Amino acid sequence: MKKLFELVTKFPKTTLIILIGITALIGSQLPTLRMETDAESMMPQSHPAIIYNDQAEEIFGIQDAVIIGIVNETPGGIFNFGTLRLVKWLTEKLASLDGVVAVTDDDVMSLATIDNISGTDFGFDVALFMEEVPEKPSEMATLKKIIYENDMYVGSVVSEDGTATAIYAELENGLENRSKTYKQIKGLIAEEMANGGPEKIYIAGRPVLEVTFGEYMAEDMQKMMPLVTLVVILVLFITFRSLAGVLLPFSVVMGSVIWAMGIMTIFKVPLFTISTQMPVILVAVGTAYSIHILNKYFQERL
């Protein structure tokens, strides 16, 4: 270690040029840094609950879906032409989006696509609950009756009190794809809400959570880094009252952040929700050490 220090002090300019070159090379990898918002990736893959969950998904083909809830608390609930027309329209729009998995007509599950399976004298009969939106009161009453006779969908697709219904749509994998599709879905909902109907529309589900995490992670970094940088520069200036006292520790700290994030990118280590604050912590801790070292240097120089 002593020989290294002697080499650095003997060739300071060469050392700085090499360090700047390495920092620039590592920093060039930062644009490809991946953000990981998958909740399962932060959990131990050997845990029994995770193993069981993976097995269930593989056996039953379970996929995480975006859930859109449509609520109408007026008399009659969702069983009116306007609300059911909205369900059918939104289902068709979702199925047409590029990022929504809709290989078959019923991949987007709602009252407009699910089948009613009923027993007959010769076996069983399969037919859509709602091929067309019923307009007559008698047709609406029949639809409500056959839905509530099938316990499979009560509490999952239609609420027990008849004031809410849900639409389930699976999104393609990939944060970028899901983010784009999620924004399109929000646009569809905003378009319908602007019409001022009695319905309230909510959106939920794991893909929504992951996209929101990703957006908040990026926003937090964009807000916190400039704020912390400003505070650090201010503290350094108040402490040393010189340009060198500000630039030297600040450049070292920022270089450390670039190295840390760049090396993560090179070794394909993603940025998780918790580790998004790592650059901020590195700046704060690194600045504290720099102040101690520079303070000792200035004292010895006097």
Q: What is the pLDDT of residues 65-78, one digit of tens each?
A: 889 999 999 998 99
Q: Picking from 47-56, 225-234, 263-272, which range would have the lowest pLDDT averaged per residue?
A: 47-56
- Residue 89 pLDDT: 92
Q: Give pLDDT, residue 180.
A: 84
Contacts of 206 (CB under 8 A, 6+ apart): 39, 64, 65
Residue 62 has pLDDT above 60, yes or no: no
145 in any annotated domain: yes
pLDDT-derived band at 124 (thresholds 50, 70, 90) equals: low
Structural domain count of the chain: 1
Half-sphere exposure of 274 (CA within 13 A, CB side): 4
- 180 C-beta neighbours (distance < 10 Å), count: 17
Lowest mean pLDDT among 56-60, 229-233, 268-272: 56-60
The answer to whether 233 and 225 are in contact (CB under 8 A) is no
Grouping H, G, I as helix, E, B as strand and the rest as coil, residue 187 is helix
* Residue bearing the bigger pLDDT, 86 or 57: 86
Distance CA 258, CA 280 (A): 12
- Residue 67 corresponds to which amino acid? I
Higher pLDDT, 71 or 118: 71
Residue 149 neighbours by CB distance under 10 Å? 10
Residue 165's pLDDT is 94
Instruction: Tell me, yes or no, whether 102 lies in a domain.
Output: yes
Q: Does the residue 220 lie in any domain? A: no
Residue 47: per-residue pLDDT: 83
Q: Is residue 79 packed enough to be buried (19+ CB in 10 Å), middle (13-18) or exposed (0-12)?
A: buried
Tens digits of per-residue pLDDT, 19-51?
999 999 999 999 888 877 776 677 777 888 778
The per-residue pLDDT for 70 is: 94
Q: How would residue 288 be classed by pLDDT, with cut points 50, 70 and 90?
A: confident
Edge to edge, the sheet with strand 200-204 lists 164-170, 65-71, 200-204
In a domain, 281, yes or no: no
pLDDT band, residue 266 (cuts 50/70/90): very high
d(CA 111, CA 97): 19
User: Is 187 domain-assigned?
Assistant: yes
The yes-or-no verdict on residue 104 having pLDDT over 70 is: no
pLDDT of 118 over the 90 cut: no
Tell me what the mean pLDDT of segment 232-239 comes to: 88
Q: What is the DSSP letter of 227?
A: H
User: 219 in a domain, yes or no?
Assistant: no
Residue scoring higher pLDDT (294 or 29): 29
d(CA 221, CA 168): 32
Q: What domain range is 106 assigned to?
A: 65-204
Q: Confirm if 134 and 85 have CB atoms less than 8 A apart.
A: no
Give dist(CA 108, CA 234) in Å, integer: 55
The answer, yes or no, to whether residue 113 has pLDDT greater than 80, is: yes
Residue 160 domain-assigned (yes or no):
yes
User: What would the two tokens of residue 80 be?
Assistant: 């009116």
What percentage of the chain exceeds 90 in pLDDT?
Answer: 24
Q: Let me know if residue 131 belongs to a domain.
A: yes
pLDDT of residue 285: 86
* pLDDT value for 152: 84
Higher pLDDT: 196 or 184? It is: 184
Residue 177 has pLDDT above 80, yes or no: no
Q: For the chain, give the mean pLDDT.
A: 84
Least confident of 116-120, 195-199, 261-265, 280-284: 116-120
Quick one: three-class SS letters along 56-69? HHHHHCCCCEEEEE
243-266 helix and 12-27 helix, angle to the nearest 10 degrees? 50
Structure tokens at 79: 């069983």
